[in-house]
Amino acid sequence: MNDHHSRALHFRSLHVPGEPLVLVNAWDAASARIVAAAGARAVATTSAGVAWSLGAPDGDALGRAAAVDLVRRVVAAVPLPVTADIESGYGDTADEVAVTIEAVVAAGAVGVNVEDAWHDGEAPLRPVDEQCARLAAVRSAVDRAGVPLYVNARVDTFLRGAGGVPETVARAKAYLAAGADGVFVPGTVDPATVAALVEAIPAPLNVLAGPGAPAVPQLAKLGVARVSLGSAVAEAAYAVARRAAVEALATGTYGALADTLDYGTLNELMRG
């Protein structure tokens, strides 16, 4: 068993209902090292933050090569398991999604998020049978690679206004049957809804949290297994850049830069 295989098994073991794995999503090597240094048990990328940092919008606009290269950089930057947000798989067909998975595994990732949002499609979400075919291709690629990659199937019903608990549960069960290991339902943190999803979905549940959401201990009591901060951390970082720019250009002052990580701390983190 090699280190990659061991990290993948360890990452799987971190998904425990009631003891959530907290993922503070990173978008480059520096943010990954900051998260790791804070005591994280694993590092996850955010597709939005990654895309923005590379000059592309979120929503399947970033090319596979750029996305995989970023995963490789993050894996090399931290000694922790890394799970990659690969949007809907960077491919129009199931076979193309499988190519992405092969590349992500080769880059050293131990998990992936695969969403069912259908950007520029005929509906907010891909048809269930089409998404199942894509997930089955992911599972086949994982099996061929011989690394127990954790496949987190993202169900965007709430995020895209395409259904409530029944539709979410139906999709989740279909995706698990197609080869997913866990289910990610962003877009709701309502305690009653989360509890209903935990009860009905026979797999670890991942929710997206941020300001206004129940605290991690509360989500733990609901049976959540994984809590992600998603793009919010990158959004906050870019908000500082905007405030600093507006202030410096409008008033010539620098108050927005008063509470920062100092040069020495950041530079030392980059030494590895």
Which tokens hold the place of 185? 């339902």
Averaged pLDDT score across all residues of the chain: 97
Domain span at 83 = 3-231
What's the pLDDT tens digit per position in 30-46?
999 999 999 999 999 99
The answer, yes or no, to whether residue 128 has pLDDT greater than 90, is yes
Which tokens hold the place of 158? 């709430």
Res 120: pLDDT: 87
* First-residue to last-residue Cα distance in the chain: 25
Which tokens hold the place of 85? 């947000």
* 13 domain residue, yes or no: yes
Cα(49)–Cα(230) distance, rounded to whole angstroms?
A: 8
* 209 domain residue, yes or no: yes
As for how many domains the chain has, the answer is 1
Res 130: pLDDT: 98
Cα(62)–Cα(64) distance, rounded to whole angstroms?
A: 7
* 241 domain residue, yes or no: no
Host H or E run for residue 245: helix 232-250
Do residues 97 and 69 make contact, with C-beta atoms less than 8 angstroms apart? no
Distances (CA, A) of 156 to 97, 259, 261: 18, 35, 35
* 142 domain residue, yes or no: yes
Res 242: pLDDT: 98
Q: How many Å separate Cα 107 from the centre of its chain?
A: 16
* 239 domain residue, yes or no: no
Do residues 8 and 148 make contact, with C-beta atoms less than 8 angstroms apart? yes
Q: Print burial letters for 68-96: b (CB count within 10 Å at least 16), e (below 16).
A: bebbbebbebbebbbbbbbbbbbbeebee
Host H or E run for residue 205: strand 205-208
pTM of the model: 0.96
Kindly indicate the confidence band of residue 166, based on its pLDDT and cuts at 50, 70 and 90: very high
Helices of type H across 54-180: 64-77, 94-106, 128-145, 165-178
- Name the pairing type of β-strands 82-85 and 111-115: parallel
Do residues 99 and 145 make contact, with C-beta atoms less than 8 angstroms apart? no
Do residues 185 and 158 make contact, with C-beta atoms less than 8 angstroms apart? yes
Furthest CA-CA distance within the chain? 59
Cα(196)–Cα(166) distance, rounded to whole angstroms?
A: 10
Mean pLDDT confidence for 125-152: 98
CATH number of residue 169's parent domain: 3.20.20.60
The answer, yes or no, to whether residue 16 has pLDDT greater than 80, is yes
* 191 domain residue, yes or no: yes
Portion of the chain with pLDDT greater than 70, in percent? 100
* 227 domain residue, yes or no: yes
